[in-house]
Structure 1
């Protein structure tokens, strides 16, 4: 999700450039200095309403969070032709591997260093449970060197294609991408599809213009309902200044933009919500990257809560339950550089669930970009243990 260099300042600058907020919260000002309210004002958006609620279960304890591995960077992904990258959206392939899709990617260990590609993807060995030591790369889409999944030149009509999410339906994988024409300007979304476990991709459909649903259908995450033929999506803008709305589509119609339905209230009091109604956010505040998955018997959403500079989790027994009274927890807090630990991560964003995760052993890919020096710009893996009891206590 690289943005133009002239839109960034050093983390030590007194002013906060717009890309800094979009990329990692309030940078050096940090949550500990100004507090959540000031951070939300900095992002020019209302404070998120997905804050953890008091729990009825007195035995509930905060989960244990561990930073387990750095997944990209010098000596880790150098052999695949890049060192600087972000996002890292994982999905299980039809042939039983993991495919992890990255955003703006650079040959050297710095944003803007050398060859610029996006999106690119690496394969990892799929285990029944994610490895504690992190994903183990086994190859790249494109051969020895990771090549763009989409054939285009940066800086033409489209400055960059960025991945939203990837889903596997039967023998076909679908990748939702955002076509950007300059910073923050999503001109349209597209779905690219692969029928060979991610080795080659073709454009399946041009989906929505950037202003569709008031700009709330740009960034997206999706998952298949295991009990039906519906694919559910949470979508929002790319700018991290909006809440997220809920959509759905039949799995057989995923490439048909006219088949998508939205979820919204049908009365002024907003007490009754139905499919087919005009959408309103089901997750409030300032939402960035999202990951919606079914984990065991729950719909689980992890997302970058840009307004409060942290990565949050919501869980419910139904996808519509994510709006009502979901279980909620903050997994990672943003912080200043030099003040990190396992739970506090400087200039964090992303937050995607690794396949094989369970409610009690959840693994995430999380990005960092130290704007200014433009390094680190990488993806790390985190492990969250101990959520199951709290989630199940809430129904």
Structure 2
């Protein structure tokens, strides 16, 4: 259990009590470091790693960052005037330095690895063959920005989703036992096929895992507010919302959709506060009202990272629950309250759970 402990964790002879979000942060930092930066960060082994520290900086709120986030998302036209930034200068320099070093190492050593860096190098080679000096791969900031987008979208969102899922599973031991049985069966079948690790197809076939993840995102949509712009299909300047509401939306008008409110509307989700993965069984999904489930948005502007985000969450839950189970403890909050200062959906208080070793899988 040593790899699960951080500075604020305690342990007893029955297991370790940890802030589960911290553990999920470390796992997702390792994942994004590998996917986006082409690096092995070993954050779960070394909680003070440089890349882990930098990745967490962007989500540590202070007054300046809260103002910057507000301007960027709600008053974007003022960004040049107020010079609002999503990243601090030190973090931006860190991203540029890391991406440049990794790219130079890849080009020098000829290493092939199926990740973002390899994709960028392929695009760069194609641009060189066409002698296109204006191609974005020749600009360092564009390269760093691609990795930064993975960092922003892939760490906090997935770690929060995982921690909420583990919290709910700790409250529902029978659900957790059912999921752990499915994990055990998946590894047994994979072993019968001659492989020790799970394939993508095997993970996709785990129905109860899918149901647990989808119900977690229903109850806790990490991006609780969707932003869109009114673009009527006709040439009219206004779009009527009748018969649903007695008002109009003007062309170009920003529209904010609370998917958190929709996900907790008893009209679409009976007893919405209850965590029930059965809502997403094959039979029940066929009866869902269209557009009532929006954790990734919908339509042509839905989340481009939906598939990789779901896979990241599923892999984390699989390998965590393969050898550990989560239980409530005296420090566990009775009910999740959301942090009003955070742009994403996050618990206001640390979620402490007891982690118990289980080697039956």
Indicate the TM-score class for this superposition, using the shorter chain for normalisation: under 0.3
TM-score scaled by length of structure 2:
0.23
Q: If you compute each CA radius of gyration, which structure gives the higher value, 1 or 2?
A: 2
Q: Between Structure 1 and Structure 2, which shows a larger proportion of strand residues?
A: 1
